[in-house]
């Protein structure tokens, strides 16, 4: 193990770390994915489940993940191996890190394709193509664009190239500089858009759609999607936050940083949702339009507002930047793993992974045109399948295991020192990590495994019984954690 180079503290201040982590969290997930899955799953009730998942599962898992990174001081597979060795757990825990490395690359392969759409819209907006455009006309433009694999491939290539260029420069030169100015700007422009929305007649409909829950529209699958999205949008469960945590010097507050990340991420998603549904309801568009929702609505808004050319162009530019600051964190676990465990130079690792991601992205490009009817998972295109497997399975699974590791393997004294939550805070934190976060994920998983409701409860029962058995064993035999603690 001594042969492996560990991560060194790199962030130059607590503020820079927070910016980078917010940069990772805030991205296409907030501006593109959140509105369209909310539209597809009926609005309010879905949003409520998502917010509950963010608060009860997302926040504690985020804190755990950053904490595991700082304590493990390495890329995710190695960090987990280090911690497992330190605290006498199975070396198999490093698989948790590998799950993250793989998930990050899979996500990135479609992430750059979608970011490419935003790039195309940036150019179109700058050219003035959206001036006074109707909902119908944007819809036509968008479907024409999707039908052209070469256009999608071109922008996908550009986005992969930009990501690699930033990542190759390393943490200090690349990541820090990129996030420093763009996050505040993005927030500002969203506020301008919300101001515009508030003056529209459909603003009330938008708020009602997002915040008045109608539970008859909620299915178990929607709950799974909402929970998966809580992981996706906070960048947790796959090691991005773990690597960022491994670059964290002692003494920075993980708890404070995590609260900022959750707050900023949630705010951006909700603001984007409010704006997009104002346009949807004001122009007779379809809330359940799917992945094209953002791209079929916002140009209409910009087309109508005064100064829309300026705001629209700036907005799509910022979406691209927000996507880039997330993209670099999607590849960072894999890059640092190749650097540290495979002794590859940063440039080489970046290029190799970039080639893989670029190739895999072609599947997503084609899934919107030539492979429209080709299904990888039943009923799901290549893109839908990747999205489903990563966001709804790999990330929640990874995040759940991080919570379990923090709760049952890391000794209490180490945990208290890492998070400095005070007596009450720590008591709440550990109970959430033990009895809420993993149990929540298990229930949602188990209930999606089966169709009929009787079998559903059996599956949930079996999952919970297994977890109780594990928890009982841990608390009974691990000397570092005493029962009744």
Question: Minimum CB separation from ligand PHE for residue 430, in Å?
Answer: 25
Question: Minimum CB separation from ligand PHE for residue 477, in Å?
Answer: 34
Distance of alpha carbon 286 from the chain centroid: 25
Spatial distance between the Cα atoms of 88 and 103, rounded to a whole number of angstroms: 27
Residue sitting closest to ligand PHE (CB): 29
Nearer to ligand PHE, 49 or 103 (CB): 103
Copy the structure tokens of residue 231: 């992981």
Nearer to ligand PHE, 236 or 349 (CB): 236
Nearer to ligand PHE, 24 or 304 (CB): 24
- CA distances to 37, 91, 108, 238, 380 from 388, rounded to whole Å, are 12, 28, 14, 15, 9
Copy the structure tokens of residue 99: 């799950």
Distance of alpha carbon 92 from the chain centroid: 25
Binding residues for ligand PHE (CB under 6 A): 24-25, 27-30, 107, 232-233, 235, 238, 240, 326, 329-330
Asked whether 440 and 56 are in contact (CB, 8 A), the reply is yes
Question: Minimum CB separation from ligand PHE for residue 107, in Å?
Answer: 6
The DSSP bridge partners found for residue 380 are 377
Question: Minimum CB separation from ligand PHE for residue 473, in Å?
Answer: 32
Question: Minimum CB separation from ligand PHE for residue 238, in Å?
Answer: 5
Nearer to ligand PHE, 331 or 481 (CB): 331
Question: Minimum CB separation from ligand PHE for residue 104, in Å?
Answer: 6
CA angle 142/144/146 to nearest 5° reads 70
Nearer to ligand PHE, 133 or 226 (CB): 226
Q: How many residues does the chain have?
A: 485
Nearer to ligand PHE, 308 or 361 (CB): 361
Spatial distance between the Cα atoms of 192 and 188, rounded to a whole number of angstroms: 6
Question: Minimum CB separation from ligand PHE for residue 221, in Å?
Answer: 20
Environment class of 162 (CB within 10 Å of its CB; exposed 0-12, middle 13-18, buried 19+) = buried
Nearer to ligand PHE, 96 or 107 (CB): 107
* Beta-carbon contacts of residue 127 (< 8 Å; ≥ 6 apart): none
Copy the structure tokens of residue 25: 């969290």
- Which helix (H) or strand (E) segment holds residue 308: the answer is helix 308-341
Nearer to ligand PHE, 76 or 282 (CB): 76
Question: Minimum CB separation from ligand PHE for residue 35, in Å?
Answer: 12
Nearer to ligand PHE, 133 or 167 (CB): 167
Nearest to 34 by CA among 206, 225, 242, 257: 225
Nearer to ligand PHE, 68 or 107 (CB): 107
**How many helices and strands, by DSSP H and E, does the chain display?**
24, 0
What does the CA dihedral 25, 29, 35, 36 come to, rounded to 10 degrees? -170
Question: Minimum CB separation from ligand PHE for residue 32, in Å?
Answer: 8
Residue 83 neighbours by CB distance under 10 Å? 23
The DSSP bridge partners found for residue 377 are 380
Copy the structure tokens of residue 186: 């993005």
Question: Minimum CB separation from ligand PHE for residue 33, in Å?
Answer: 7
């Amino acid at each position: 193990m001594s042969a492996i180079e560990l991560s060194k503290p790199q962030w130059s201040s607590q503020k820079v770390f927070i910016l980078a982590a917010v940069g990772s969290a805030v991205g296409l997930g907030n501006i593109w994915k959140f509105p369209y899955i909310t539209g597809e799953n009926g609005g309010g009730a879905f949003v409520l489940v998502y917010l509950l998942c963010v608060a009860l599962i997302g926040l504690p898992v985020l804190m755990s993940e950053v904490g595991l990174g700082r304590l493990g001081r390495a890329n995710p597979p190695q960090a987990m191996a280090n911690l497992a060795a330190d605290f006498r757990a199975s070396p198999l825990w490093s698989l948790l890190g590998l799950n993250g490395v793989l998930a990050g690359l899979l996500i990135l392969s479609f992430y750059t394709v979608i970011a490419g759409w935003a790039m195309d819209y940036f150019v179109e907006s700058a050219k003035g193509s959206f001036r006074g455009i109707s909902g119908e006309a944007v819809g036509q433009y968008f479907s024409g664009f999707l039908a052209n694999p070469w256009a999608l491939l071109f922008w996908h290539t550009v986005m992969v190239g930009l990501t690699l260029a930033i990542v190759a420069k390393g943490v200090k030169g690349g990541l820090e500089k990129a996030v420093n100015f763009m996050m505040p700007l993005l927030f500002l422009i969203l506020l301008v858009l919300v101001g515009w929305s508030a003056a529209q007649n459909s603003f009330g409909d938008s708020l009602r759609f997002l915040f008045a829950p109608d539970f008859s529209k909620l299915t178990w699958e929607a709950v799974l999607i909402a929970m998966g999205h809580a992981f996706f949008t906070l960048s947790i469960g796959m090691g991005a936050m773990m690597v960022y945590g491994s670059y964290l010097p002692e003494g920075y507050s993980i708890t404070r940083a995590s609260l900022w990340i959750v707050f900023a991420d949630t705010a951006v998603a909700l603001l984007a949702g409010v704006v997009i549904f104002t346009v949807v309801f004001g122009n007779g568009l379809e809330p359940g339009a799917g992945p094209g929702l953002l791209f079929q609505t916002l140009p209409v808004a910009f087309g109508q507002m005064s100064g829309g050319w300026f705001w629209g162009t700036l907005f799509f530019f910022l979406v691209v930047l927000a996507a880039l600051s997330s993209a670099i964190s999607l590849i960072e676990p894999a890059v640092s793993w190749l650097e540290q465990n495979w002794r590859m130079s940063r440039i080489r690792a970046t290029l190799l992974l970039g080639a893989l991601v670029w190739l895999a992205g072609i599947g997503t490009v084609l899934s919107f045109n030539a492979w429209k009817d080709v299904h990888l998972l039943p009923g799901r295109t290549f893109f839908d399948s990747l999205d489903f497997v990563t966001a709804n399975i790999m990330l929640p699974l990874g995040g759940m295991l991080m919570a379990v590791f923090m709760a049952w393997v890391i000794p209490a004294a180490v945990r208290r020192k890492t998070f400095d939550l005070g007596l009450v805070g720590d008591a709440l934190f550990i109970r959430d990590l033990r009895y809420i976060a993993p149990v929540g994920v298990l229930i949602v998983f188990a209930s999606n495994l089966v169709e009929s409701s009787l079998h559903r409860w059996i599956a949930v029962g079996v999952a919970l019984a297994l977890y109780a058995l594990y928890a009982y064993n841990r608390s009974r035999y691990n000397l570092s954690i005493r029962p009744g603690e």
